[in-house]
Each structure stands twice: as C-alpha cells, then as structure tokens.
Amino acid sequence: MPRGLRPALVIALACCAAAEAHHSIAGMYDQGRRVTLDGVIAQFQFVNPHPFVMVDVRDAGGAAQSWKAELDNRWELLDIGLTATTFKAGDRVIVSGSPGRDRTPLLYVWRLERPADGLLYEQIGTSPRVSRLPR
C-alpha cells in the first residue's frame, strides 16, 4: 500500500466504527406509534451520545412505572440552550414520542412540555428546538 494512503485508511476505518456504534432511531423505536406520558422526572442524564430523562409515571390503576425517554444528541441540545441543569428531579413533564421496539418502557422524545414554566422541547425532523408555550 502506498505510504500516503495509510492515514486515509485509518481515518476511514475510524469513521465507519463510529457510525456503527451510533444506533438508528428507526431501528430502536416504532416511529409509527406515539405514546404520551404525564409524569415526574426522576433523573436527567446529560450524556453522550443522547441525553435522557427518567420519567416516573402512574398508570390508571396507580401502579408506578419508570420510563427512559431519549432526546436528540447532546451537541445539538447544547446549541439550542439545553444544559445539564435544564431538567431537575421533581419536574412534572408531559412527554410524547415513539416507544421502543424491543424494550419498554423506552421512548424517543418528539415533544416534551414542562407545564410549570411553559418550556417546550420539540424534535422537528432531524433538528431539536426549545421554545415557550403561550400562557
């Protein structure tokens, strides 16, 4: 192999490995279905590659269930102003998204509202945005 091609091959292999490590939203979540949860944040993890909130929800019978709700990638969330302190344990939220295909209770978040202050997180196509609901 010519010497000049070795660095390019190393970079190409590294990119392929990174792409393989990242998961497909369509592969993990049923995008043809929507679930809406009304609950309380138990935990917010602002981690790579995708931050998530753990939302404690009570069903109609009063039984508690903890859902893992995955957000868009961390870097895009930083770009729109979300930080590690945006969501706190005890915040009431209404979350809508696609349920996990193989694992429940798992959800990909398309919309998250925090009624206390009107914060609205939405996933629009491939881009997240944050705004405030009118009061």
What is the residue-level pLDDT of the chain in tens, covering all 135 positions?
566 656 554 444 444 334 334 457 778 899 899 999 999 999 999 999 999 999 999 988 999 999 999 999 999 999 999 999 999 999 999 999 999 998 779 999 999 999 999 999 999 988 999 999 876
In this predicted structure, what is the pLDDT of residue 16? 39
Cβ(120)–Cβ(132) below 8 Å: yes
**Cα–Cα–Cα angle for 51, 62, 42, rounded to 5 degrees:** 25
pTM recorded for the entire structure: 0.79
Instruction: Report helix, strand and coil shares of the chain as percent, to nearest 5.
Output: 20, 40, 40
Domains present along the chain, CATH in parentheses: 29-132 (2.40.50.140)
Structure-derived torsion over alpha carbons of residues 7, 11, 12, 15, reported in degrees to the nearest 10: 170
